Amino acid sequence: MSLATPEASARTGYAINPLDRLSERRDDPAHVAGLMEHPSTRFVVVGRDKPILRLTGAGYEALFTREEAHGLGALRETVLLGRDSERAYFAQLLADEALVVREQPDEGALVDTNQLVVPGRPDLIVHDLRAVAVEGLLAPERIGLLGQAKSVLYWHARHRFCSACGVRSEVSSAGWRRDCPACRAMHFPRTDPVVIMLAVRGDSCLMGRQPRFNKGMYSALAGFLEPGETIEGAVRREIREESAIQVGRVAYHASQPWPFPASIMIGCIAEAVSHEIEIDRAELEDCRWFSRAEVKAMFEGRHPDGLLAPNPIAIAHRLVRDWADGAAPQF
């Protein structure tokens, strides 16, 4: 299905994934086996939560044939991702021991510079998906597909045993369920909902920064939705907790699958009905109001204090930009 005007969610990072997930065929083992054996089928491989990419003459590639995937090392769970007009796609989890750490000591570095590698395969890189997206190493459709693969394989890697009785569970439904052979419990991959929201009041919006953010970057406030809570309730609670701002109306704007490790970001615009900020220092380093003109200057890299807007792969970018452009709800 294509829309005349792309909805906002179709313009967020990790959200572009045109696969038909074939959910109605997952419990047909003959059909799934036929897809897996078809010569046109391709596999993406994830090891230790990172996709394996191959460097080709034309750039990076995330797709492997079945034989190539098996050549990487011991494979564990397999998941049917879906198909497009050309072929079917599966995701496979590479055993942790198939990857080794290549130490790259750099005493001046602020981050861990060690690299995961597939031994004997200098043509392959094991790269964090966030870096793949930020560096634009793959087309957006491939990044969406890898996000789907990473999130469901993250769940398999950490849910091998029944959470009700402790017996080892078995993969079923083409990788979209685990069944317990002892107590018959069925376990489904989890997606953790997060609310992310821009509180606005006339010509101003509220943004904060966490100490771990890049220098000068401000973003929309966010937090996990809790059991028994509505989206609107979580938006009001999180804004109140982090900034003491009171919120009236809440409008949904866009969502984003966020594969770190397996969230759905629910992006909203919230009507601020108070003005005085009290910053929750346990969560935020700073939190303040920004005018629309200031936000536009941040996007254009000409803010007088060098302040920056959220990265384009984040849904916060979509929320702030659409509000500033008048393309999101205004309160």
Query: What residues are paired with 264 via a beta bridge?
Result: 193, 257
Q: Least distance (Å) from Zn ion to the CB of residue 262?
A: 22
Stretch touching Zn ion by CB under 5 A, among 96-104, 133-141, 163-171, 207-215: 163-171
- Reference 46, options 104, 174, 132; nearest CA is 132
Per-residue tokens: 137:
């190493």
Nearer to Zn ion, 131 or 183 (CB): 183
In this structure, are residues 302 and 294 in contact, taking their beta carbons and an 8 Å threshold?
no
Please pick, from the candidates 162, 245, 262, 287, the single residue that binds Zn ion as defined by CB under 5 A. Answer: 162
Subset of residues 166 to 185 that bind Zn ion, contact rule: CB under 5 A = 180, 182-183, 185
Nearer to Zn ion, 55 or 182 (CB): 182
Subset of residues 90 to 109 that bind Zn ion, contact rule: CB under 5 A = none
Q: Is 164 in the site for Zn ion (CB under 5 A)?
A: yes
Residue 107 DSSP SS3: coil
Nearer to Zn ion, 84 or 170 (CB): 170
Residue 294 DSSP SS3: helix
Stretch touching Zn ion by CB under 5 A, among 130-138, 146-154, 157-165, 296-304: 157-165
Spatial neighbors of 107 by CB under 8 A, at least 6 apart, are: none
Q: Least distance (Å) from Zn ion to the CB of residue 319?
A: 41
Number of residues that bind Zn ion (CB under 5 A): 7
Spatial neighbors of 115 by CB under 8 A, at least 6 apart, are: 101, 102, 104, 126
Q: Is 165 in the site for Zn ion (CB under 5 A)?
A: yes
- Residue 89's H or E segment, with its range, is strand 88-94
Nearer to Zn ion, 172 or 204 (CB): 172
Separation CA 185–CA 168 (nearest Å): 11
Nearer to Zn ion, 185 or 279 (CB): 185
Separation CA 89–CA 226 (nearest Å): 33
Separation CA 92–CA 76 (nearest Å): 7
Separation CA 269–CA 320 (nearest Å): 9
Nearer to Zn ion, 101 or 186 (CB): 186
Nearer to Zn ion, 158 or 275 (CB): 158
Subset of residues 5 to 64 that bind Zn ion, contact rule: CB under 5 A = none
Q: Is 186 in the site for Zn ion (CB under 5 A)?
A: no
Separation CA 161–CA 317 (nearest Å): 38
Q: Least distance (Å) from Zn ion to the CB of residue 325?
A: 51
Binding stretches for Zn ion (CB under 5 A): 162, 164-165, 180, 182-183, 185
